[in-house]
Amino acid sequence: VDLLTQQRTKRIILNGVTVFLFLFPALLLYCSYTLNGIIRTFYFSTFQWNGIGSVSVRGVNIGLGNFAALMKDARFWRAVRNNFVLVIVSIVFQLSFGMILALIINTGNKGTKLFRTVYFMPLLLSTVATGTFWQLIYDPFSGIFNGVLKIISPNKPLSWLGSEEVVMFAVLFVTCWQYTPQYMILLRAGMTGISEELYEAATIDGASRGQQFWKITLPLLSGTLKTSAVLSIVGSLRYFDLFWVMTEGGPNGYSELMATFMYKKAFKEDRMGYGSSVAACMVIISFIVIAIFRYMTRDKEDQNS
Amino acid sequence: MKKKIVLLALALVMVSGVVFAAGGQSGGAASGASGTTTLKLWHHNNTANRMVPIENAARRFEQQNPGVKVEVEMVVNDAYKTKLKTVSSSPSDFPDVFHSWGGGWLRDFVDAGLVADITTEAQKVASIIGQNNLNFASYNGKIYGLPYITTSTVLYYNKDLFAKYNLPFPKTLAEMDNAAKVFIANGIIPFTVANRSKWPGAQYFVLLSMRYGGPDIFQRAIDKKVKFTDDAFIKAGDELLRQIKAGWFPAGANGLNSDQRQELAMFYQEKAAMIIMTSGTIGAIQEDAPEFFEKKLGIALYPAIDGAPGKATDLLAGGNVFSAAANSKSAISAKLVAFLATDIELQQALHATGAIPVPQTGIKPANPIMDDLVKQMGSATFIQNYIDQTLSAELAELHKDTTQALFGQTMTSRQAAEEMQKAFDK
């Protein structure tokens, strides 16, 4: 008996060592880059520092001074607002269009394979390429969009990316175009996991296609939907690349996001401390939003698991 | 057993990845064997026609200075600034000779004690490169860098279009106004500008300010002798707004991207008659539209304004500067900086890419346009360093933001001026 327990403890310890060994590299990377980065960001955010030389020598500790200035910075609040617009648009449009496309390609009708490939293509392009060619499409003089508009109203080229009122819509449209396929693939993967028998049973019971969607597909997809929504919220709050490539936050800050604002402050204006305080706010805001979202959707999760 | 080996191998691979990632950083910084000094040189010129000559010049310097090895590294523009800033906190990674644009950006590095004072070495070559070229990186009477490329702001125009409508090139703003009216009436945009990156449009405001307030108006504002709300800036802003409303510039200019040469396309297609850009654009035009370059391209001075102190020959220019790091090798680094500013072979090669030669003599003009440009620079009555390099980084961004807002007509010239003064007072 004694030998048996000894062997068992040995195995447990060995198991633990193995688990640790396998987790260690990832943990090390996570701690040295992600965690360390976040902690240092908060540390830097208490300094007035231009990023040149070491912070302990060249920086002036001003406590929460950067945050106080940030709270009064109208540009920052516009960026926050734009980020939330992006969150809402992403969830409402990208997820729902993704769902519609997933339903279409999931029917298995003739030609769906072709459409699956076509719809998926935007996601395969690199963001820089996407941003660059959409800039050309939006070109007020030789772009396709204005070529069509010219037929309707000549002599008034609309400047899609140069006008303060239009620029957000123009870039948001491209983000939807780019990311809808991601949700299409996620949701479609979720749909293939739903047993065909459920639909057969429902059909025998006389349920219509609509009823089947609302009573079977949607409830069973809720886990996938929630994952997609979390991905979408986090992605939107720290979004940077497409906006940077297409507008650099311009004109005049009307398409500014928190991340582009942070980059400009830290690296273009050489205000590393102030930029760090923007980054710190991004962490806090993202954390709060995700916490609220998790709290609001917690009941359904319990049912699932 | 087999499974165990596979698992072990996997674990090894994963761990070694981390070790290599951590170890990779320290390589390369070590200097060579005893007797040789290795100098690290960083620059940001990413085209082969500039990279190769710089590399070759480094080899020539090595031949002239036995025991010295120069390692040249190229980093692209925005990444360059970020990278240099990142290594500024660790002296062993900081390059011995590095490129910058002089002005306010370099000044931060000087203030941090990272840059060597090379005044003595610079004075030795002063007679070759001329006094103006010593000013790109001099602070408090000390010289911290020498230019190896200089560029200027140039007004390019389509000679054919001016001839077609019988217009001589305007000497004053009033004449320019007439020309603009003729062009607009014929469906041609007078000036094309791609203002997404903000500095192309800001040049117009800067030139107008220098005409209304005198060429040193910005320097006087920085020295607190006048305010950024001075009449000259308000007038310049108002005039720019008037021109924008009158259709001098393409609608939606703020959305056009100069990196994609969207504005140059309009210039080649003769949808626009003029453009103001840096002299580096000469190379771009020659490459994009060789026929246009040969037959139609002309360069001119931005006109003067009747009754205002600025002259048409007051120019805007800037330089790409090499500086030496303040470390044990700074004496030989300073020598390399001076060498790059004066080496005829390097200067001739850079000149072919649109750079104005730094040495005052000994460089053959690459083409007629460059010849005109060198003459323009030679007869300049005042040379103002590019404003976005002269102002502090923060103020420079605001300067560009506010002029972009003028182009978008979302700000009045007074609002723009007041924002500048407010930020300057901070």
A75-114: pLDDT as tens digits? 899 999 999 999 999 999 999 999 999 988 888 777 888 8
Any idea which residue has 């800050």 for tokens? Answer: A253
Shortest CA gap A89–chain B (Å): 23
pLDDT at site A302: 53
Distance between CA atoms of residues A146 and A157, nearest Å? 6
ipTM score:
0.72
Distance between CA atoms of residues B322 and B333, nearest Å? 10
Distance between CA atoms of residues B116 and B106, nearest Å? 12
- Asked if A223 has any chain B CB less than 8 Å from its own CB, the reply is no
Average pLDDT over residues A149-174: 81
Of the candidates A52, A161, A250, which has its C-beta nearest B108's C-beta?
Answer: A52
Check pLDDT > 50 for residue A230. Answer: yes
Shortest CA gap A87–chain B (Å): 24
Of the candidates A58, A138, A248, which has its C-beta nearest B112's C-beta?
Answer: A58
pLDDT at site B279: 87
Picking from B184, B192, B257 by the largest number of A CB atoms within 10 A of its own CB, the best residue to mutate is B257
Q: DSSP per residue over chain A, as a string?
A: -HHHHHHHHHHHHHHHHHHHHHHHHHHHHIIIIIIHHHHHHHHHTTEE--SSS-HHHH-EE-TTHHHHHHHT-HHHHHHHHHHHHHHHHIIIIIIHHHHHHHHHHHT--TTHHHHHHHHHHHHHS-HHHHHHHHHHHH-TTT-HHHHHHHHHSTT----TTT-TTTHHHHHHHHHHHHHHHHHHHHHHHHHHTS-HHHHHHHHHTT--HHHHIIIIIHHHHHHHHHHHHHHHHHHHHT--HHHHHHTTT-STTTT--HHHHHHIIIIIS--HHHHHHHHHHHHHHHHHHHHHHHHHTHHHHHHH-
DSSP conformation class of B94 = S
pLDDT at site B23: 42
pLDDT at site B182: 96
Distance between CA atoms of residues B354 and B50, nearest Å? 10
Interface touch B255/A161, C-beta < 8 Å: yes
Residue of B nearest to A251 (CA): B254
Shortest CA gap B227–chain A (Å): 22
pLDDT at site B312: 95
Distance between CA atoms of residues B323 and A291, nearest Å? 50
The structure tokens listed for A164 are 């303060």
Residues of chain A with C-beta less than 8 angstroms from the C-beta of B393: 50, 268-271
Nearby residues of B326 by Cβ (< 8 Å), 6 or more positions away? B113, B114, B115, B116, B117
pLDDT at site B29: 40
Task: Flag residues of chain B having pLDDT under 50.
Answer: 19-33
Distance between CA atoms of residues B215 and B315, nearest Å? 8
pLDDT at site B136: 84
Closest CA to B423 of B398, B404, B402: B398
pLDDT at site B10: 61
Q: Note the pTM of the prediction, 2 decimals.
A: 0.79
Distance between CA atoms of residues A195 and A216, nearest Å? 10
Any idea which residue has 């070559």 for tokens? Answer: B125
pLDDT at site B104: 81
Distance between CA atoms of residues A305 and B250, nearest Å? 60
> pLDDT of A22-71, one tens digit each?
999 999 999 888 899 999 999 999 999 888 888 888 888 898 999 999 99
> pLDDT of A114-158, one tens digit each?
888 888 889 899 999 999 989 889 887 778 887 777 777 666 667
Check pLDDT > 70 for residue A304. Answer: no
Mean pLDDT, chain A, as a whole number? 88
Distance between CA atoms of residues B112 and A106, nearest Å? 62
Interface of A with B in 40-79 (CB under 8 A): 50-55, 58
